[in-house]
Structure 1
Amino acid sequence: MTAFTLDVYQNEYLPEGSREVNAIVTVSATGGPAAGEAAGPAGSAAEVIIVDCSGSMHVPPTKLAAAKAATVAAIDALRDGVAFAVVAGTDTAKLVYPTKAELVPASARTRAAAKEAVSHLRASGGTAMGQWLQLADALFVGQPAATRHAILLTDGQNMHETPRQLTRTIKAVTGHFVCDCRGVGTDWEVGELREIATALLGTVDIVAEPSGLAADFRAMTTVAMGKSVGDVSLRLWTPQGARVKFVKQVEPTLTDLTGRRVESPPRSGDYPTGSWGNESRDYHVCIEVNPAGVGDKMLAGRVSMVVPSTNEVVGKGQILAIWTDDTVLSTKISPEVAHYTGQAELAAAIQEGLEARKAGQVERATARLGRAVALATESGHGDTAKLLAKVVDIEDAATGTVRLKRAVEAVDEMTLDTRSTVTKRVGRKPAED
């Protein structure tokens, strides 16, 4: 049975009159099945694979062929009994397998039938991702599965819906399932897939070459099969007069959960975290409290992990505040809080810099991407530094002195953008005995 533990990292000492309390909460889930083992009863998981079959998937023909192979790989990664379906996405959404609007249990027979149906996919039509998500949502309805997961693949932009229509659909299906999004090639829009993945607590990434799709689909499905607990929420209690400034997932990726709060009286709110396997994630909690006197101690927040369907509390932690006039204590910055504050700034600098570059704002783009180089260097984010070096010429990494490259490959720019929210965990010293 999966168990949750919560560790809180903070400097609880605040200077006199200070109101803001920051803490990093590390949530670890253990005790579930090991990698490759079944995460629970077969019926406890459901999977929908959405494949873009718009006309552009035929240019070149190898793109659709790779998407078919990737879908087959995902089907093969399903364990027996998992309910699944395959959807073809164009300017409409069509059920590829099964033929009736339902999910079917995975077995040797149904896998073979699904793969046969996938082999007949053809590319034509446009792109309306909202309709794809609506069909996936309808398929998941009534499913008792604890974990509901979808994969969405596209190679283009959402041309047959307005941004407002897509946003409305995303809002309607939020909380119903987790969705990992992948863009193949360089003709899709990062912002569109990021909007979907963020709302549906999934990941977004670029697969530059179609040949990489099969391995990626197999990996995503394997991870989904390893989830043993679904729909877990982080519950935050705060004292009278306090205000929650934000709650953000900060590792393994940046996701702002602040606006996703569901009230849970008295003085508590639940923030969705999705499904869990054997894993660990970090959350940054910022609370504004009424200041107390020097020497006073306050419970500024109580954080717990809760299964909303049963209201079962599966892990607890405390966030404290102690007011002091000792500047040595109050000015000490928690390394965890400082680290993830820097990671959030790094992601923002990259995204703002790329937007400025697209808009032709050379000075702002140079400043923001230069700041990103400095932050990546300081935090040891070597992978991000390498990606930045494909967009700017770095003269001094430490100070962030850079020049915009005259010509940048679209794939390099999109890779930097999609992976800007992937974070690096802060190094922690082992606890002393």
Structure 2
Amino acid sequence: MAILSKPDVPRFSVDVYQNAYLPEGAREVNAVVTVTASGGATLSGPAGSGGGPDAAVVIMVDCSGSMDYPPAKMRGAREATAAAIDTLRDGVRFAVVAGTHVAREVYPGDGRLAAAGPETRAQAQQALRRLTAGGGTAIGAWLRLADRLLSSADATIRHGVLLTDGRNEHETPERLTAALEHCAGRFTCDARGVGTDWEVKEVTQIASALLGTADIVADPEHLAADFTSMMETAMGKGVADVALRLWTPAGARVRFVKQVAPSVEDLTDRRTGAGPRAGDYPTGSWGDESRDYHVCVEVPPADIGREMLAARVSLVVPRADGGADALGAQGLVRAVWTDDLAASTSLDPQVAHYTGQAELAEAIQQGLEARKAGDMDAATAKLGRAVQLAGLSGNADTAKLLSKVVDVVDEAAGTVRLKTKVAEADEMTLETRSTKTVRVTRRPNEQ
């Protein structure tokens, strides 16, 4: 396969961190794979700057009736969308969709995308002033219209931004799931919930399926800053549809592949075949950035002194003809069987750290679910464990969010008391951001 090489595409590198040593009879190999993209063109920047790959963006704005309560939400949504449009590079194609129980093109209309420039930005912002709230919420319809609009442009980067303030009450969960399955791999999408009347699981489901980010913006006054930041990140992307390719030898089986930084995202069930004993796991669009993945492979047991290649990790971008272009980076996951007890029982610090981060996210989600269900004993135990794990891993941001839901008695022991009164925004923020992780602190002699 050819190595993809273009001036505006970042260069990729792969580093593998693991303890390769296994005791006799052991079969499970764990590794943290760090993928780094660097050296791409300076793609982000103020409106009017050129350069960068072809990109298309659709902004989906909730215009359901609840957006008028309070009126600051609708005003904040208009201002945030205008700020996002201001952040687009000249030439980036874009559209704005108003979402209610139906999806409606606000600008430019007629199933088209506009090319960003001084005139089209002004026209779009004029159209935004006419946005009003009324109607219901059917997010699957919004996503399908965004997909049709993005598909009309031959763009390298296809990105959506979705804002909602309410639950998806005017279509069934199955229709939303079907829309997400249709759109997956066709564009990425960042999702935001404004206020506190929306459903966290719906917003995170959208971001997860479409390989974007999810967050809460409790105060509509903060929407413009958040939208500007999101769009700057989107404008910094240089290559789309990157897949993590895993090859394993005969007799080996991939148990799981999880993104573990900057957030936890299980990619295991998203595997697509890529020839004999190989599979691709989607990672979305990349700019200059670094992400970590936890790979677990089950290998056939072997005798002491035996060594084998447990997995080969590479990066590819699929082509329309069914093939793929290699991004010129790979890493090797090894297995070595030994009778040295110290070597085989030593936990790699990278693997240990991210195993704890994944457990932290799970403990928060289970603790909040138990709290909502009225099982206060289970909620106390799970959120106490979360406090303990946040302290052990140095995840100060999550620890701060937890402190708004529980009173910490003993962080090291995980002893907490549930707060009797918790602001809804604080609980939703903790749930929405529960999967965000901190990078492991690597020793100076590590790569």
Confirm or deny a common fold (TM above 0.5).
yes
The DSSP-based 3-state class of the residue aligned with 1:421 is coil
1:256 aligns with 2:229: no
2:402 is matched with which residue: 381, 388, 402? Answer: 388
1:324 is matched with which residue: 315, 327, 338? Answer: 338
Contact 1:29/1:280, CA 8 A, preserved across alignment:
yes
1:382-421 alignment, distance < 5 Å: 382-421=396-435
Contact 1:51/1:67, CA 8 A, preserved across alignment:
yes
Structure 1 residues without counterparts, runs of 5 or longer: none
Tell me which amino acid in the other structure corresponds to 1:277: G
After the TM superposition, which of the residue ranges 138-147 and 327-336 deviates more from structure 2? Answer: 138-147
1:216 is matched with which residue: 204, 226, 229? Answer: 226
The DSSP-based 3-state class of the residue aligned with 1:328 is helix
Contact 1:40/1:228, CA 8 A, preserved across alignment:
no
The DSSP-based 3-state class of the residue aligned with 1:99 is coil
Contact 2:44/2:236, CA 8 A, preserved across alignment:
yes
1:357 aligns with 2:371: yes
The DSSP-based 3-state class of the residue aligned with 1:233 is strand
1:143 is matched with which residue: 137, 153, 158? Answer: 153
2:28 is matched with which residue: 20, 23, 34? Answer: 20
Contact 1:146/1:231, CA 8 A, preserved across alignment:
no
The DSSP-based 3-state class of the residue aligned with 2:198 is coil
1:29 aligns with 2:42: no
Deviation at 1:142, TM superposition (A): 3.8
Q: Which residue of 2 is the match for residue 114 of structure 1?
A: 124
List per-residue Cα deviations over 1:48-106 (Å, max 9, x = no partner): 00100000000111110010000000000000100100000001000000121121211
Q: Which residue of 2 is the match for residue 7 of structure 1?
A: 15
The DSSP-based 3-state class of the residue aligned with 1:340 is helix
Q: Which residue of 2 is the match for residue 280 of structure 1?
A: 290
The count of aligned residue pairs is: 433
Contact 1:392/1:403, CA 8 A, preserved across alignment:
yes
Contact 1:42/1:81, CA 8 A, preserved across alignment:
no
Deviation at 1:288, TM superposition (A): 0.4
Contact 1:57/1:123, CA 8 A, preserved across alignment:
yes
Q: Which residue of 2 is the match for residue 164 of structure 1?
A: 174
Tell me which amino acid in the other structure corresponds to 2:404: K
Compute the TM-score of the two structures, normalised by the length of structure 2.
Answer: 0.95
The DSSP-based 3-state class of the residue aligned with 1:84 is strand
1:374 is matched with which residue: 354, 375, 388? Answer: 388
Distance 1:95 1:377 in 2: 47
Deviation at 1:143, TM superposition (A): 2.2
The DSSP-based 3-state class of the residue aligned with 2:72 is helix
Change (3 A) 1:50 1:299: same
After the TM superposition, which of the residue ranges 414-423 and 34-43 deviates more from structure 2? Answer: 34-43
Contact 2:27/2:299, CA 8 A, preserved across alignment:
yes
Distance 1:233 1:432 in 2: 25
Distance 1:365 1:339 in 2: 24
Compute the TM-score of the two structures, normalised by the length of structure 1.
Answer: 0.98
Distance 1:98 1:27 in 2: 38
Contact 2:53/2:157, CA 8 A, preserved across alignment:
no
Q: Which residue of 1 is the match for residue 3 of structure 2?
A: none
Deviation at 1:431, TM superposition (A): 2.3
The DSSP-based 3-state class of the residue aligned with 2:304 is coil
1:125 aligns with 2:135: yes
Distance 2:50 2:330 in 1: 24
The DSSP-based 3-state class of the residue aligned with 1:370 is helix
The DSSP-based 3-state class of the residue aligned with 2:171 is coil
1:189 aligns with 2:213: no
List per-residue Cα deviations over 1:263-282 (Å, max 9, x = no partner): 00111000011111010000
Structure 2 residues without counterparts, runs of 5 or longer: 1-6
Deviation at 1:41, TM superposition (A): 5.1
Distance 1:278 1:37 in 2: 14
Distance 1:426 1:240 in 2: 32
